[in-house]
Structure 1
């Protein structure tokens, strides 16, 4: 029996420790010699650049853990990676390779989310052991940087695991630092557990954390892409914290899903397609006021260039725009008068530190925040899964099964699952946005 087969069979820690680690493993990866393949292309179709095949197994560093991955998920950084934008990720690996040559390889294994079983631990790992069921958090932090004691996201060499490092989660095995691990929520399946941490923790830091917008009860929060990977967790956190979510979506079907989540106030973006001038911003602001009676104190931003000018404009006097990304483009334009003269703030937020990840994982484990998983693909079809995200033919999160042979495995706490209800845990499953599925 191989190590992977033993994990799938539910073998105990002793047997897992006894079996040999394979010299190679299956992973979804990019190839360094293809980094220029999309030069001049109109459609940078990630199905052409993402490959699934054997890659070499690295040695573990003393502070690292080898996880047998049961399931993973697609994040937008996987899409950027596979498009080789804004630069090929091999540049990140080459830089990291100056201090850790293991990462500078001809293949880059992607993926910043995972759920699985610990099968090996480095010599310096104390809190985790072989056989532990875990989920991963995405921040790859230099623990020797003094500022890590204050906030790991401020470390000079902070990296997003599986994006700016190698050996990510879209694979049968993954290498992570021990300080990335959290206990798997016992009421969730492997694929449900794997889809949460990057987006849920990012949204938590943006909205709730002391370094983000510090949302209070009664705050009106405008959320772009409210049924997307980030937005779906943002809406839940706003509601849990006593805020008033106003969700922006692109179709009527997504609006109905948002209402089923309990978000009463919905704006269909199709009525505001041109957000490039102040007339459109005024119309958007007027719609928010019509729905809730006031301007949003917080705007939850991650779409970037297409929406940022509108976000700065519609935020209330003294309010905040908190941003963690730019999926529609990095170069933003906005009217600065609306920022300085109305005393607004722009808050940059990136990922989440280990404590923030622990806090949001606790909420998930208590059944207070639920997975936003809509579709699941096998690892062999990772490129199709990433294409669905690239073309926005999805809602919530898109999951990927690695070693798990089927969906709905890995649940341990059925009582909690029953108390929550399948309709809440599976709210996003099978939902289509009106666009054809990518098959």
Structure 2
């Protein structure tokens, strides 16, 4: 824990809970600590089989950026690790510095992002400390969480759906000035009110994964979950999967979660998962994805287990694992069913038997992030206690490499939080009544001890 006397004046004021007037009158620091990558390091893993992100993720001072008129500066109290930070730190599938170069080529304020370092992180909770002169709905002192969808509201396609505009980017992955830092720069259209009953670290874990799962399952652009649907959820103990389990439960569906260990199975049962399958029961391993016969065999074993418990095949398959599972997902979905996918953590090149797609009238829906309305709706579910934080562990910013390594090696449950300006866990609650009514098991079911007073 850094003592207040060692922090810059504004940072100390934020931690001390200073008023909006005090925050506005306190000068910005010229530099601040941030987890960042260096452009000079992009070849550091050449020839390595283990691209250990602890080597590439650095924590140190970076320069305070200038604000555009539609932006706000957030003093980040807590952040979280997502897989995109792991990809950035591995420099795969391409170094994310290329994204910054493309962004800068658009000109104007976007040129600020093309620097020899990138501050990463696509989740955050904190306090607004500055607003651009074009910002209307947010003020200094507001407690916020950050939606990672960095959309251009002047593009026509964005007006139909904030994820469709060609300028849409993932903040802290395809942009600079992300959330694993003491300060972050975001557009006003990325802000959401912080759920008042949650701590900084509980709140910071939610936006990216919860919003993504909501769009995939509930929103009009996704699978359109309805009561009675059976939903197969791969990686149900992870961040995405854990929010998916809760959304299916809330929506009157039957959640079938696939996990890799008994510890993870017990965790997803605490989330309310109806049926839990250990992937070893169905013979799923890395080799199966490359053998069409084995893919079908895995699908048949999985389908038999699901039918035994539910009487039917899945209406929806929630996909984000990719190469290792996609062929089985397409096979096991019921006739007329949907496979909705938002990622490929085990590989982007998928093999599947197309007969099971066209002859059984199935659909594949690509999904990415969530638009502002979808994020707002998700945040309301969280703010009313209907969706719990998937927080399972907390690290200080100085140990961000260890936190990211935990995710890289799949040793984690749910979401791994990172304390930035917050000096310790447990701070930031402004609705103690709702928190007490919910209790630790409903606030953070994967790690209730973190939610205890």
- TM-score, structure 2 normalization: 0.94
* Residues 279-358 of structure 1: pairs in structure 2 closer than 5 A: 279-358=297-376
User: What SS is found at the alignment partner of 2:361?
Assistant: coil
* Equivalent residue number for residue 436 of structure 1: none
Q: Offset at 1:280?
A: 1.9
| Mapped partners of 1:251, 1:270: distance in 2 | 9
Gaps of 5+ in 1: 432-439
User: What SS is found at the alignment partner of 2:139?
Assistant: coil
Q: Is the 8 A contact 2:327 2:350 kept in 1?
A: yes
| Mapped partners of 1:167, 1:261: distance in 2 | 33
Q: State which of 383, 405, 425 in structure 1 corresponds to 2:401.
A: 383
Q: Which piece of structure 1 moves more, 272-281 or 125-134? A: 272-281
Q: Does 2:284 match 1:273? A: yes
* Equivalent residue number for residue 414 of structure 1: 432
Q: Offset at 1:426?
A: 2.5
Q: Is the 8 A contact 2:205 2:415 kept in 1?
A: yes
* Residues 38-53 of structure 1: pairs in structure 2 closer than 5 A: 38-53=45-60
Q: CA RMSD in A?
A: 1.0
Aligned pairs, how many?
Answer: 431
| Mapped partners of 1:135, 1:219: distance in 2 | 31
| Mapped partners of 1:97, 1:19: distance in 2 | 31
Q: State which of 171, 186, 196 in structure 2 corresponds to 1:176.
A: 186
| Mapped partners of 1:302, 1:224: distance in 2 | 7
* Equivalent residue number for residue 13 of structure 1: 20
Q: Which piece of structure 1 moves more, 78-87 or 282-291? A: 282-291
User: What SS is found at the alignment partner of 2:360?
Assistant: coil
Q: Does 2:56 match 1:56? A: no
Q: Which whole-Å deviations, capped at 9, do the CAs of 1:132-172 have from their partners, x for residues lacking one?
A: 00000000001100111110100011100000000000000
* Residues 13-32 of structure 1: pairs in structure 2 closer than 5 A: 13-32=20-39
Q: Does 2:407 match 1:400? A: no
- TM-score, structure 1 normalization: 0.97
4+ long deviations beyond 6 Å: none
Q: Which piece of structure 1 moves more, 272-281 or 7-16? A: 272-281
Q: Is the 8 A contact 1:189 1:407 kept in 2?
A: yes
Q: Does 2:137 match 1:134? A: no
Q: Offset at 1:264?
A: 2.2
Gaps of 5+ in 2: 1-7
User: What SS is found at the alignment partner of 1:118?
Assistant: strand
* Equivalent residue number for residue 437 of structure 1: none
* Equivalent residue number for residue 230 of structure 1: 240
* Equivalent residue number for residue 72 of structure 2: 65
Q: Is the 8 A contact 1:32 1:106 kept in 2?
A: yes
| Mapped partners of 2:441, 2:326: distance in 1 | 35
Q: Is the 8 A contact 1:375 1:430 kept in 2?
A: no
Q: Does 2:117 match 1:92? A: no
| Mapped partners of 2:192, 2:335: distance in 1 | 39
